[in-house]
Amino acid sequence: MKRSRLLVAALVTAFALIAAACGDSGSTTEAGATTTAAPTTTEAAADTAAPTTAAAAPAALPGEGVNVTMARADWSTGYFQAALYRNLMQQLGYTVSDPSELEIGPSLFYLSLAQGDADFWVNSWMPGHKSWLSPDMPDGTKVGDHVTTLGAEMNAGGLQGYLITKATADEFGITTLDQLNDDPTITALFDTDGNGKANIFGCQESWTCDNIINEQIAFSGWDNVEETIAGYDAMMAEAVAKVEAGEPMVIYTWTPSAYITKLIPGQNVYWLAVNDVIDGSNASGQEGGEEYSQLPGTANIPADQCPAAADAGTCQLGWIAADILVTANNDFLAANPAAEELFKQVQLSVVDVSLANVEQSNGCDTNDCIMGLAQTWIDEHADLVNTWLDAAKAAA
């Protein structure tokens, strides 16, 4: 287990550095505010309280008496963050619903948030999710008028792209996804249903990445490529089986996750490049497609993990490294300055989240176990966590 954790830490550290090198994602993000911590109750009492034989009453927590409805995204790699934020909110005195009771995809979450059916979640991927802020509300306003994305939970933490079986790529010299469309011999390798098109494992419906992949197909004019949209874990299991058998396979994936401990760039897979990075032209004509731009879509991934970088000098993944952030209802934020400040304060390591994802994939997949992972992380980072909580209390 120790060796496994060290391997994962090394891998994910590399990807964290890659994501950091990708630059500004273009999302509208407030930087985490720096606030001087308020004195503890004990210190305040020592300075101001008159001598007495009775202990001073503890100060009320800012969230006492406030019920909060929390949602979480329907991808398992976001469960740990949801459990961690819930724990922190509870430490501020809030009564927070179990986020597993409102597990939802982004196509429905932002509307539900704007309507007040939820107060917040911590699973926004920006700028990819920006398209869900533009739909109209019944009163003529936009969804985005009622919600705010804030904090710096994991800026540039969501490295994204396409992985291909290394053995296949080496044998046929495949470095770009465009080759699946342009070379009939390569197209046939990936044609799993006999319709003459190369099949790639894409994304689960309603996650937005499925829409962005279809936009990439339309934008690039890939008439001979089509995306498989299904349950992601099932697609990943099939992808892993194909790679282990040395069979052709392309799948979209991301960090932080445990997936890159099974499909390891440079060892059994490569990152594929694309010739053209999608802009806001909405070639596919999808609602909200103007927000699907992934420019500049490059990452400093070495050539042994992304062969296209050998000639181009950089890996043009076609995806921006997403900011993973909190989004909350505006009325909730206005009424709860302590919660708002907490959301601004928390910053998580891609390494730590990925290690939690590995624990999940190794059997810690129950709600209680994931909450236990969050509690362990909080205990191990008590000094840092206390600075976040003190700032939140001061804001109240």
pLDDT of amino acid 55: 57
Whether the Cβ atoms of residue 192 and residue 363 lie closer than 8 Å to each other? no
Q: Give yes or no: residues 316 and 327 share one domain.
A: no
The parent domain of residue 127 ranges over 2-42+62-157+323-395
* C-alpha distance from residue 256 to each of 28, 81, 135, 168, 352 (Å): 21, 11, 29, 26, 9
Residue 19 has pLDDT above 90, yes or no: no
| 177 and 130 housed in the same domain | no
Is residue 152 scored above 60 in pLDDT?
yes
Q: How far is CA 370 from CA 88, 120, 154, 235, 366, in A?
A: 14, 19, 19, 23, 6
Q: What CATH number should be reported for the domain holding residue 84? A: 3.40.190.10
Residues 173 and 315 in one domain: yes
Whether 169 is covered by a domain: the verdict is yes
* Residue 56 included in any domain: no
Sheet holding 322-329: strands in order across?
A: 120-126, 322-329, 147-158
Looking at residue 56, what is its pLDDT?
58
Assess whether pLDDT exceeds 90 at residue 22: no
- Strand bridging mode 95-96 / 198-201: unpaired
Share of residues in the chain with pLDDT > 70 (%): 85
215 shares its domain with 121: no
Per-residue pLDDT, averaged over 7-35, amounts to 44
Are 153 and 164 contained in the same domain?
no
What is the average pLDDT value for the chain, to the nearest integer? Answer: 89
Confidence of residue 294 (pLDDT cuts 50, 70, 90): very high
Indicate whether 30 and 85 sit together in one domain: yes
Mean pLDDT value of segment 326-338: 98
Q: pLDDT-derived band of residue 26, with 50, 70 and 90 as boundaries?
A: very low
pLDDT of residue 8: 54
Does some domain include residue 275? Answer: yes
Task: Among 293, 320, 347, give the residue marking a domain's end.
Answer: 320
User: Of 320, 346, 363, which one is at a domain's C-terminal end?
Assistant: 320
- Are residue 140 and residue 165 in the same domain, yes or no? no
Contacts of 50 by beta carbon, 8 Å cutoff, 6+ apart: none
- Reply yes or no on whether the pLDDT at 11 is more than 90: no
Q: Is the pLDDT of residue 217 over 50?
A: yes
Are residues 166 and 314 both part of a single domain?
yes
- 168-183 per-position pLDDT tens digit: 999 999 999 999 999 9
The domain boundary, picked from 320, 351, 369, lies at 320
**Is the pLDDT higher at 126 or at 12?**
126
Q: Using alpha carbons, select from 123, 120, 152, 153 the residue that is nearest to residue 332.
A: 120
Please report, for residues 96, 145, 147, 207, 293, the alpha-carbon distance to residue 132 in angstroms, rounded to integers and kept in the order given: 25, 12, 11, 11, 14
In this structure, are 27 and 123 located in the same domain? yes
Which residues, 6+ apart, have CB-to-CB distance to 342 below 8 Å? 88, 89, 92, 388, 389, 391, 392
The reported pLDDT for the residue numbered 15 is 54
**Do residues 265 and 357 share a domain?**
no
- Total domains, the chain: 2
Mean pLDDT of the region 218-228: 98
Going by pLDDT thresholds of 50, 70 and 90, the confidence category of residue 49 is: very low
Report the CATH number at residue 284: 3.40.190.100
- Is residue 53 a part of any domain in this protein? no
pLDDT surpasses 90 at 34: no
Mark whether 385 and 333 lie in a shared domain. Answer: yes
214 within domain boundaries: yes
Mean pLDDT of 94-103: 98
Structure-token match 């830490």, residue found: 9
Q: Is residue 264 situated within a structural domain?
A: yes
Per-residue model confidence (pLDDT) at position 47: 42
Q: Are residues 291 and 336 in the same domain?
A: no
pTM of the model as a whole: 0.85
Query: How far is Cα 133 from Cα 111, in angstroms, rounded to an integer?
Result: 8
Query: 48 lies in a domain?
Result: no
Residue 10 lies in a domain: yes
pLDDT in tens, 237-276: 999 999 999 999 999 999 999 999 999 999 999 999 999 9
Q: Is the pLDDT of residue 385 over 80?
A: yes
DSSP codes of every residue in 76-129: GGGHHHHHHHHHHHHHTT-EE--GGGGEE-HHHHHHHHHHTS--EEEEEEETGG
